[in-house]
Amino acid sequence: MKIVKLSEIDSVDIQSYFKSPVVIPTETVYGLSAKIDNEEALKSIFRIKGRPSDNPLIVHISDFEMLSNLIEGEVPKEYKVLMDLFWPGPLTLLFKCKDSISPIITGGENRKTVAIRMPKNENLRRMIKKLGVPLAAPSANTSGKPSPTTVEHVIEDFGEMVDLYIDDGQCEIGLESTVFGIINGQYTILRPGGVTMEEIKEALGCEIFVRNKTEKGQEAMCPGQKYTHYSPTHPVYLFKGADWQTNMIKVRNEVSELRIGLLKRQGLKYPDSFDEEYILGESLKECTGNIFSGLRDLDKKCDAIFVVGFELDEEGLAIMDRLEKAAKYVI
Ligand code: TXA
Ligand code: MG
């Protein structure tokens, strides 16, 4: 296993490492990547992560030239507006895909769309350009676990299963990209993330639907919605109600034998102190950046994790999406 800094990537023979999956840093979270034309490496991504094969992968491109080789038909005018504002950056767009795209990437022959994004980190885009082929990459965590925001997180999950880890320190945003598509004519966010709903709404000047949960009896629009997500080994208790302080004390007394860790948002008045505390920060941006590392950190030290719900605007929508999926109990 080799760890190389992204800024020193030119010192290794990347083409030969890319015969199998490589861990890459992005501005959102770390990814486990393979060249889109290397079917064996693409299959290995699913094996290493323990990912269900019908959950499609996001394709990462270095420039607009790469985009035209992947998609069928014209780029919708609304996408052009969004790409102008948010690419390179944490926005993934759903496009009609060319038949040449492997069904391993789209999660099966029947899905005719491909999710594409242009990551913000310039050195990463330069590396993709040098490889000459886009990279398909899901988040670099064991399926179901919190996403990784440092290379150390990824090594904890994959260890010797991966030959090359590219390190670029802590991810700037710390939470995945927003997945957006035009579905049955509706502007739809399938997964809230690094670009907020308010920013997309302002850019397009019209209503945006958020469909990040699958209703009972409905088919998942975004296959990732069907599966357990972001869950540490130990249970997460998410306190959402207005009387969260009272509930926190009540639950704490009920599980008094457990060592409890608190994901702490500064500025809130907590009813008590806890065995371990992980400071998320005060602003929504800071909390976004620390949510996954906080879950991972407390999971190592505690038997249960307590966290208070966030407001649903700006970055709060994406944080709550992750916490509701991570939580065993929502109170
Ligand atoms: O920030 C990110 O997006 C990170 C970094 C590595 O780029 N990637 C990431 O990938 O979060 P992943 O695989 O963990 O999540 C991708 C989500 C999944 O929920 C998947 O179901 C959905 O995007 N997705 C991918 N392709 C899709 C498609 N064609 N149609 C609908 N949903 C799709
Ligand atoms: Mg993921």
**Can you tell me the distance from the alpha carbon of 37 to that of 122, in angstroms, rounded to the nearest whole number?**
23
Q: CA angle at residue 106 from 100 to 108, to 5 degrees?
A: 95
The 209-210 sheet, strands edge to edge: 2-5, 164-167, 22-24, 31-35, 135-136, 58-60, 113-117, 91-96, 178-183, 186-191, 209-210
Q: Residue 161 CB: number of other CB atoms within 10 A?
A: 14
Cα(8) to centroid of ligand 1, in Å?
28
pLDDT (tens, 9 = 90+) of the chain, 331 residues, equals 999 999 999 999 999 999 999 999 999 999 999 999 999 999 999 999 999 999 999 999 999 999 999 999 999 999 999 999 999 999 999 999 999 999 999 999 888 999 999 999 999 999 999 999 999 999 999 999 999 999 999 999 999 999 999 999 999 999 999 999 999 999 999 999 999 999 999 999 999 999 987 666 666 666 766 666 888 999 999 999 899 999 999 999 999 999 999 999 999 999 988 999 999 999 999 999 999 999 999 999 999 999 999 999 999 999 999 999 999 999 9
User: Hey, whose CA ends up nearest to atom 6 of ligand 1?
Assistant: 31
Cα(326) to centroid of ligand 2, in Å?
12
The residue assigned the tokens 């999710």 is 115
**Can you tell me the distance from the alpha carbon of 161 to that of 155, in angstroms, rounded to the nearest whole number?**
9
**Can you tell me the distance from the alpha carbon of 32 to that of 226, in angstroms, rounded to the nearest whole number?**
21
**Can you tell me the distance from the alpha carbon of 24 to that of 44, in angstroms, rounded to the nearest whole number?**
15
Indicate if the alpha-carbon torsion angle 100, 104, 110, 111 is positive or negative: negative
Can you tell me which atom of ligand 1 is nearest the CA of 30? 6
- Asked if omega into 148 is within 30° of 0 (cis), the reply is no
Q: CA angle at residue 112 from 110 to 117, to 5 degrees?
A: 130
Cα(138) to centroid of ligand 1, in Å?
6
Task: Ligand 1 pocket test: pick from 70, 222, 292 the residue with the most ligand atoms within 8 Å of its Cβ.
Answer: 222
Query: The whole model's pTM is what?
Result: 0.96
